[in-house]
Amino acid sequence: MLDSGVIDRIRHIFLHPRPHVSISQATALLGWTWRQMNEAIESGDVELMTTPIGKWFWRHELMSKALETWPLHVIEEALGNDADSVLPQAIRTKELRVRLPRHHVEMLEYRAEQQQTTVSGVLTRELDGIASAHSEELATAIPGFAEALAWPERDPAMAPC
């Protein structure tokens, strides 16, 4: 069971109707410290939008960072019935049963513990690397693959208002 605070933060990130939030709000929603946010901004790890009244954190940036923070199945669980309306079908999770050598299982469990995530989270990150390395081939072979790989940065719903 997810902590209600995490559920609320995830729901706000993915269900927020505006294309941006304040830097302060993004910091709180991601559970970051001010130092972490400043380092991400200075390193270019996040891209801000500048307007005459200040700097803003793009919603698609916020969603991308949320996807790095929580495994997708955790985000789906937090979104509940709203997941269908927010997450593209191609990135929705699906259960997969596999049989692996025990040392692989132990390795995945160790990496999950080290990264403070789940085995699913570790596998997803590794498979994202494979997807990126073979994106051209996979985009032509699998319908919706390119859109799933580009989401949320290229989601038409994220266009500025």
Mean confidence (pLDDT) of the chain: 91
Reported as a single tens digit per residue, the pLDDT across 102-133 is: 999 999 999 999 998 889 989 999 999 999 99
Biggest CA pair distance of the chain = 57
Reported as a single tens digit per residue, the pLDDT across 80-101 is: 999 999 999 989 999 999 999 9
Cα 63 to Cα 69, 102, 140, distances in angstroms: 10, 34, 26
| 46 and 102 both lie in a single domain | no
| 97 and 71 both lie in a single domain | no
Asked, for residue 159, whether it belongs to a domain, the answer is no
| 8 and 22 both lie in a single domain | yes
| 76 and 131 both lie in a single domain | no
| 37 and 99 both lie in a single domain | no
The percentage of the chain sitting over the pLDDT mark of 70, rounded to a whole number, equals 95
- Domain extent at residue 52: 1-87
Reported as a single tens digit per residue, the pLDDT across 8-43 is: 999 999 998 888 999 999 999 999 999 999 999 999
| 33 and 83 both lie in a single domain | yes
Distance CA 27, CA 156 (A): 25
**Number of domains comprising the chain:** 2
| 9 and 73 both lie in a single domain | yes
Question: Does residue 152 have a cis bond before it (omega within 30 degrees)?
Answer: yes
| 81 and 113 both lie in a single domain | no
Sign of CA dihedral 89, 91, 95, 97: positive
* pTM, entire model: 0.82
Beta bridge partners of 56: 22, 49
